[in-house]
Structure 1
């Protein structure tokens, strides 16, 4: 496991813990969704090697993530 993978993994664990803590608060649903979006982006960028993909794939996935998160935050 490379150093970058270890750092991303640790960040994902911290964000998961943050999601759990925020889950205890009723008013934090939008923040939890944003944390989930950050986790998605980290996994896609680091572990799915999106950083080495063509620009259109990176932009397409970022746009899809923004659309889904925007709708989820709006509807939450």
Structure 2
């Protein structure tokens, strides 16, 4: 039996173990934003440690956008 998998399905997502606050509007977006924020932390030199950011000064654009996407009810 052949089972097709993707890279993302085999990858551990830190948000999978995090409780989602009750006032979150979009759970999937909240979890994705949490994962991006975790993956795009500044390193010891203040630059984003994620290779996709090419040493962008932290917080990088991805981390800023993820922080804005953690949508919650007003």
TM-score range, shorter chain: 0.3 to 0.5
Could you tell me the TM-score, scaled by structure 2's length?
A: 0.37
Could you tell me the TM-score, scaled by structure 1's length?
A: 0.37
* Greater C-alpha Rg: 2
